[in-house]
Amino acid sequence: MRFAVFSDIHSNLEGLQVVLDEAERLGAEALLCCGDIVGYNADPNACVELVRSKGVRCIQGNHERGLRDLDGGLEPNMNPVAMEALLFTSETLSSDNRDWLLSLPEELAVEDSFYLFHGSPADPDEYIFDPFEAAYAFKSLAFEHALPANLLCFIGHTHVCAAYVFDPENHRVGEKAVVSGDRFSIKPGAHYMFNSGSCGQYRGGLPLATMCIMDTTGMTVEFRLLRYDVAVTQAKIIAAGLPPFLAQRLAMGQ
């Protein structure tokens, strides 16, 4: 079976559409999202409705938990720009779309094959940027989550594509650089963690929308880093009155 896995859509309809088109072109039979469907960009309702209409199986990210915190009278743990976008999102979302976002689980085991997490297997708010940080996350994946799905997981949150492998025999963690078209073979005995990057605010230095294809028959994971019409997304951010920095960072891939 072929799964398209993506993350951090962040209300970017143009980025999401490019990823969905590529998933269809590559023959994906199911669609999965590692959280942060909303936040930062200007199309929260359109993105939630497209995700729901396509039957994408989603988990919550920290921006969905930010909505929950607002409802509970708590202060979301966000920087001022992210907070301004969260308030825009909260005011703009329909109650039906908001209820759907708040109903999502924090993690998901997909057909006993692999897990989805937002930040890491240990903590949904944790960022994994290097093998050292990945080592702690692998301990949680390998020893606190059930076989056989704990052999592999997908994460998001950093908005940068990454691939880590953990050998439980010698407790070594390796990192492999990712470029578009890379295909990783999943070998028995090791544990894998793949960051599918971001559909909506890629931070790898280029204005891209990114995704993975997980093939559970051939046991491969393939990355796709895709161009999309950033100028359209930027114009919507400005028209919505969101902070201009959110438009500028899209072009820089930051």
Span 146-205, contacts to Fe ion by CB under 5 A: none
CB of 145 to Fe ion, least distance (A): 22
CB of 144 to Fe ion, least distance (A): 24
Q: Which is nearer to Fe ion, 8 or 126 (CB)?
A: 8
Q: Which is nearer to Fe ion, 142 or 206 (CB)?
A: 206
Cβ–Cβ under 8 Å, residues 156 and 129:
no
CB of 127 to Fe ion, least distance (A): 10
Size of the site for Fe ion (CB under 5 A): 2
* Residue number, nearest CB to Fe ion: 36
CB of 118 to Fe ion, least distance (A): 8
CB of 237 to Fe ion, least distance (A): 16
Q: Which is nearer to Fe ion, 8 or 14 (CB)?
A: 8
What distance separates the 2 farthest-apart alpha carbons in the chain?
54
User: Tokens representing 177?
Assistant: 């650089």
Pairing of the two strands 30-33 and 2-6: parallel
Pairing of the two strands 220-227 and 183-185: antiparallel
Task: Using the structure block, give the residue that is written with the tokens 């692998």.
Answer: 138
User: Which stretch of DSSP H or E encloses residue 221?
Assistant: strand 220-227
Binding mask 1-40 for Fe ion (x = CB under 5 A): -------x---------------------------x----
Cα–Cα distance, 196 to 118 (Å, whole number): 11
CB of 73 to Fe ion, least distance (A): 23
Q: Which is nearer to Fe ion, 48 or 149 (CB)?
A: 48
Q: Which is nearer to Fe ion, 90 or 216 (CB)?
A: 90
**SS3 letters across 152-210:** EEEECCCCCEEEEEEECCCCEEEEECCCCCCEEECCCCCEEEEEECCCCCCCCCCCEEE
| Site residues for Fe ion per CB under 5 A | 8, 36
